[in-house]
Amino acid sequence: MPTTPWTPELWRLLWSFLAATLFGAVVGNFWLGWGLGLAVYLGYHGWQLRRLVNWLRSGKTRNIPEAGGIWGEVFHYIYQRQRKHQQRKRQLEEMLERFQEATSALPDATVVIGRKDEILWFNEAAAGLLGLHSSQDKGQPIDNLLRHPDFITYLNQNGRGGEPLRIPSPVDDGLTLAVHLINYGRDQRLLVARDISQQQRLEQMRRDFVANVSHELRTPLTVISGFLETLMDSGDECAARWQRSLDLMHQQGARMQHLVADLLMLSRLETDRSSPPRELVEVPALLAAIREDALLLSGDKGHHVTVDTDADLRLYGAERELYSAFSNIVGNAVRYTPAGGEVHIRWWRNGTGAHFSVSDTGIGIPAEHLPRLTERFYRVDTGRSREVGGTGLGLAIVKHVLSRHNARLRIDSMPGKGSTFTIDFPADRIA
């Protein structure tokens, strides 16, 4: 039979019982003997219990009391548990220390925020970029210290699903921060702010460069095109000999003018960070005008352009921008649909908002290109785009206009069958 801690304990009990019985026999009173035996036995356990309590109270792991039997076992297990617990604690402390050292060394400001938006912990970079001070700011609500209205909205919207927010640093207006709010653990959030001033300066330089070049090119191009037209219309004998070359020059000049206009429009949309004006836009009338443009663009290709609109549905937004977005999509439908094809424009509302769609029976777009179509100069087929007078900027303009109107673009397409471009406007844009 295997020895368990209970074996010596049972022996001890047996011997106590025998000794008590013997004592009872000697004094001639068994009850007295057993009573005394029980008292001694209970006294022994009481004494061990007291040693255990004293040892636990002392908090010393090392000086474990010596004991045999079941009490030895109890002391041993508690001792082992305590040692394991201490080891784990030490490991966790070391891990925490390493983690804090690593996050302290990060160049990005990192702040741990609690359930009530209070600051629980932050690193050194947070002091530099957000102006937090370790002694007085811990425990303060973060929106007491970062008071930019956009940040407060961002905090209330719980980080807008991981999208970064750009705000000036509260320490230095010249610094721009990209702020991310990340949810983790139970009701805790991590705020990470990165200094993107340099990146923003480069972006600004690029935007200015494109805008300036486009602007500078506009006047010479207008002059050249103007003279070419005069020459072509002059009926001059010399001009007649050069007719084909003049036509080509005029065509290419018009393409360049179109490209410059699109570049200027795009850089204006990019630079203008303010929300677009809330003009009352008569979309049905706008679509009727766009249909006329589409028929002109189609020329002798004979596309069937149909419009199906809700005549009372109007929108709040920037008319010029919306005109540009709608006509880019309709223009593409005509340009990428072979002669005689169908282009159907719809404008309607439902419970989710207002919707604009253009369906065509054109060449369609393979699925792998769809996610990249709104990038500048991204074309499925560059040769074809140039042939039909595309600049590669149309859908990039559409994307910018839509983001300024909180609207969304959806594209469904089947190569060889046609495409449908749909714009969803939120209900609060409906007039």
Query: Counting contacts by CB under 6 A, is residue 341 touching ligand ADP?
Result: no
Using CB under 6 A as the binding criterion, the count of chain residues that bind ligand ADP stands at: 23
CB 287 within 8 A of CB 347: yes
Minimum distance of ligand ADP from residue 203's CB (angstroms): 21
* Residues in contact with 147: Cβ distance below 8 Å, sequence separation at least 6, in sequence order: 170
332 binds ligand ADP (CB under 6 A): yes
User: DSSP secondary-structure letter at 156?
Assistant: H
CB 386 → ligand ADP: shortest distance, Å?
Answer: 8
**Opening angle at CA 25, ends 23 and 29, nearest 5:** 90
| Residue 269 binds to ligand ADP (criterion: CB under 6 A) | no
Sheet with 408-414, edge to edge strand ranges? 304-309, 342-350, 353-360, 418-426, 408-414
User: How far is residue 187's CA from residue 133's CA, in Å, rounded to a whole number?
Assistant: 24
Rank residues 168 and 392 by Cβ distance to ligand ADP and give the closer one.
Answer: 392
Q: Which two tokens stand for residue 12?
A: 């001890």
Angle at 88 between CA 85 and CA 90, to 5 degrees: 110
Which range binds ligand ADP by CB under 6 A, 30-38, 124-132, 207-215, 332-340?
332-340
Cα distance between residue 309 and residue 328, in whole Å? 18
Write down the least CB distance from residue 379 to ligand ADP, Å. 3
Measured from the CB atom, is 268 or 379 closer to ligand ADP? 379
Q: How far is the CB of 265 from ligand ADP (least distance, A)?
A: 12
| Residue 407: burial class (beta carbons within 10 Å; 0-12, 13-18, 19+) | buried
Instruction: Answer yes or no whether residue 333 interacts with ligand ADP by CB under 6 A.
Output: yes
Residue 130 or 325 having the CB closest to ligand ADP: 325
Pure H helices in 106-242 = 124-130, 134-137, 142-145, 149-156, 197-233, 237-241
Q: Looking only at residues 346 through 365 of this chain, which bind ligand ADP when binding is defined by CB under 6 A?
A: 360, 362-365
Tell the smallest beta-carbon distance from residue 106 to ligand ADP (Å).
Answer: 39
Minimum distance from CB of 128 to ligand ADP (Å)? Answer: 42
Nearer to ligand ADP, 214 or 385 (CB): 385
Q: Which residues, 6 or more positions from 426, have their beta carbon under 8 angstroms from its beta carbon?
A: 353, 406, 407
**Could you give the angle at which helices 69-105 and 6-27 cross, rounded to 10 degrees?**
150
β-bridge mates for residue 430, sequence order: 315
* Separation between Cα atoms, residue 216 and residue 211, nearest integer Å: 9
> Site map for ligand ADP, 280-319, x if CB under 6 A?
----------------------------------------
Query: Which residues from 371-400 bind ligand ADP, rule CB under 6 A?
Result: 373, 378-381, 385, 390-396
401 binds ligand ADP (CB under 6 A): no
Which residues are at the interface with ligand ADP (CB under 6 A)? 328, 332-333, 336, 360, 362-365, 373, 378-381, 385, 390-396, 419
